Chain A
Amino acid sequence: MTTGPANDLLVVDRLSVAYNRGAPALHGISFAIPQGSITGLIGTNGAGKTTTLQAIAGLMRGDAARIVGGGIRFKGRDIQRQRPHNVAQLGIALVPEQRKIFGSLTVADNLRASGTGGGRRLVDIDTLYGLFPALRLRRTVAAGHLSGGERQILAIAMALLGNPDLLMIDEMTLGLSPAMCVQLAGVIRDLRDRFGLTILIVEQNAAVALDLVDCVHVIEHGSIVRSGDAQALKADRRFRDVYLGIDPTDASALYAPGSKPQRPLSAEPVMLSVRGLSIRYGGVTAVNDVSIEVRRGDFLGIIGPNGAGKTSLLNAVTGLVPVHAGAVVFEEQDITRMPLRQRVHQGIARTYQGAELFLSLSVLDNLMIGRHHRMRSGPLSNAAFIAGTLTEEISHRRRTEEVIELLQLESVRHTPAGMLPFAIQKIVGLGRALCTEPRLLLLDEIASGLTHEEKLLLARHLVRINEALGITIMWVEHDVRMVCDLATRVVALHYGRHVAEGPPDKVLASAAVQQSFFGATLVGPTSGESC
């Protein structure tokens, strides 16, 4: 494939990448991206999708990983030995998985700081505001105060200002609400049609990817196992099972086979009560007078478009942000002003949208840190490693291993957390939260970035955590179908306000949710899966 057709913008030829410390590698993958096309890479977590993008962007030059074979040609020129900034200058832009933005600058300044000085511009900032109205709305806000989804839009906008010929987006719809997904897919199509941009996306949501792309490559264990156009893949049985699930129109109880237990929770005592909560950052009111009650054993789903205040709500419960007004009451104790460190003792644990693991430590050490507040040994007995320390270490190690077994993390036990794919990092984050033995578990977009098959597995874990371990769950997620299948109750937020609450189906059907979550067009609950 060294002399590909003249209209191929990028040719990846038998590319092999090796990691020094046992993480996934690429085993000679080859594909070509024609000028002006949209190509998708799909695959399970750890398959090598991100590695492929990083190799193209010139990021495989460090100590941790390197290109060991094959080549990458861009506009007919070998680029596998180029440095990242050279690759960018040649016209390849990468929007990485964990969006890199300048948190202390405003959105407008972030955009001004991006891109090349002069010359031809693919798009200017005003066009971008037209493409992404959400950015115009937030343009004077510090980017660090944006919600996860808004950051993603900003990162993509910044990449576009770099004037690329090839735009690569890792996990394009990660953390985006259904309405935002549809909008972004439209923008991507627009960029191709109007500006002739060539686009390569990594997308976990196969349904979105298949609607958008011209050609899909499925990567598993570092090799391309299927390639073809969207129609061909939709017809492929195995592909459907792993990435699409059963017929998307059939939304009945997918994640919890059988019927979801409709336990009467009204009899249970209230565990967490959020009363008239308001949170403000800078000029933004993230949460505005929200009241929510969570009963013991509840499995509460929280949905809402990007920037609705979902994460801020979790932050208030865990004590990461100061509360402007209102109160957080946990087990009849006012914890509104309780220091962060003490809440874990109350039995509150959470996962983060950005995983937030201790990246240089192994998975095992990350989980053992979850045991910290239940351990008693001090520095002196640790230094001597006398019997007490050893016994304690071993007994807590055993509890940690139970979590490793529950979440099936055995194979990565000794891997540094920073080497893991992002979605697996979030599962490790779930494990770390479980290791604290919480009574209330707060989950922040734990399922985003997982393939359909991985979501099924996660769903089983979550049901088990809720029912067998009896842990109350408060869960922020964009996959509405998954939330509706698993949660017993759903709360919808919109621009920091509480707009609907009740059983999943009723909330989903309410006009307010239809408006805010799926956009103005009326979309049935089942189509929520498409994003």
Chain B
Amino acid sequence: MIPVGLDGYRQDYRLLSSVRQGVAIVLIAAVVAWLPGVVSAQTLEILNRAAIAAIGAIGLNLLTGTCGLISIGHAGFLALGGMVAAILSQFPWLPFPAILACSAIAGGVVGIGVGLPALRLRGLYLVLSTLAFYYLFLYGVRVWQSHLSSVVALTGLSLPAPDLGIVQITSGRAWFYLLGAALAGVSLISLNLLRSRTGRAWLAIRDHELVAASMGIHAPYFKLVAFTISSAIAGFAGALLAYYNGTFSADFYTIELSIIYFAMIIIGGLGSIFGAILGALFVTAIPPLITAAVTTVGVPSAWQVAYVIPMEVVLYGLLIVLVLLFWPGGLIALWRRAHESLRTWPLGRAL
């Protein structure tokens, strides 16, 4: 270890501050790598969908949790990324990573436009302007889709399996590793932003915009940056989602999808990357769990379609309310508390 005086706090910026943490990360990575071999195909499907959701949720969390700007147009950006991927995938000579990058860039560029009103609007008015973006954009996509062909208008555009050159991503297992890597990359980028000048500027704007400005923080610029990065990540997630679904259709990107992403970051814990991942996993796992429970009990399938499935959104709303009432910090706060009591056990109680 280098003495602090010479080292100048470099160790505070290491991602892994101890050998123990390094070992823990390696162990977690090993478990993750081994998982697809043991879990069922359904579980793998849930995990894969959760990973895509987690990427999108991290993007939304940067905007809402960190910078304090509420957007309800997130599904619009997912649709945008998916649409760009669907169009570009028709050109076989375009490599898959380039298509993903284009989706992210498209998300970012449109994000600047959607972010512009945020310089003037706050709170509910901002929510309304992002909602307006969502409806305008989705309307445009529907019109465009209906002009393509009657088949596409009904079923949507289909996307081929991603081709990485050496491997084709077809199996659930291959998807799992691809999405795991993407999630790790997005998490790292977000973490880097949060622990440096940009992230501090966002947090300062969220906590006290006037004083932030008096510290020389250019609030309009950093708000636009938040919108841009958040939408770029959403575009990226949207492209992955379209590829994973194998199809792109406007009908998939309902306003409920925006709300579901909102539920993820609130249930997981606002402002935390790991919280967004936990929230995404939790929210994605609920519908299959309900279906499994309902099937076990033996509810007729007609009833399932009529009552149980529409209830999902109600359930998210209920969960958000419950989390806000009883665990204000979300899953991540529960996690930290558990971690803290484990660390200080058996003296934690007494202290």
Binding site for B on A (CB under 8 A): 18, 20, 63, 318-320, 339-345, 350, 352, 356-361, 365, 368-370, 372-373, 375, 377-379, 382-385, 389-390, 392-395, 397-398, 401, 432, 436
Contacts and interface: CB of A to CB of B under 8 A. Distances in A.
B141 to A, nearest CB: 29
B290 interface: no
B193 A18 contact: no
Interface string B8-43: 111011000000000000000000000000000000
A357 B213 CA distance: 13
Interface in B192-215: 192-193, 195-201, 203-204, 207-208, 210-215
Interface string B209-250: 011111111110000010001000000000000000000000
A411 B66 CA distance: 26
Contact of A378 (B189, B198, B333): B198
Contact of A393 (B13, B201, B333): B13
B198 A379 contact: yes
A406 B219 CA distance: 30
Given A340-B210, A375-B197, A365 B216 contact: no
B291 to A, nearest CB: 34
Contact of B213 (A341, A358, A368): A341
A339 B219 CA distance: 12
Nearest to A383: B189
Q: Which of B199, B211, B333 has the most CB of A within 10 A?
A: B211
A63 B328 contact: yes
A188 B215 CA distance: 40
Interface residues of B, number: 37
Contacts of A389: 192, 196-197
A360 B198 CA distance: 17
B329 interface: yes
Contacts of A357: 208
Contacts of A365: 200, 203
B216 A344 contact: yes
B351 interface: yes
Given A18-B351, A344-B214, A382 B192 contact: yes
Nearest to B217: A372
Nearest to B340: A20
Interface of B: 8-10, 12-13, 189, 192-193, 195-201, 203-204, 207-208, 210-219, 225, 229, 328-329, 333, 337, 340, 351
10 contacts: A318-B214, A341-B216, A358-B212, A361-B203, A378-B198, A383-B189, A383-B192, A385-B195, A395-B8, A432-B215
Nearest to B216: A373
B341 to A, nearest CB: 10
Given A379-B229, A382-B196, 19 more contacts: A20-B337, A319-B214, A339-B213, A340-B214, A343-B214, A344-B214, A356-B211, A358-B203, A358-B211, A370-B215, A372-B201, A375-B197, A377-B196, A377-B197, A390-B10, A390-B13, A393-B13, A394-B10, A395-B8
Contacts of B214: 318-320, 340-341, 343-344, 350
Given A63-B329, A358-B211, A385-B192, A372 B9 contact: no
A343 B214 CA distance: 7
A358 B8 contact: no
Contacts of A398: 8-9
A382 B197 contact: yes
B273 to A, nearest CB: 13
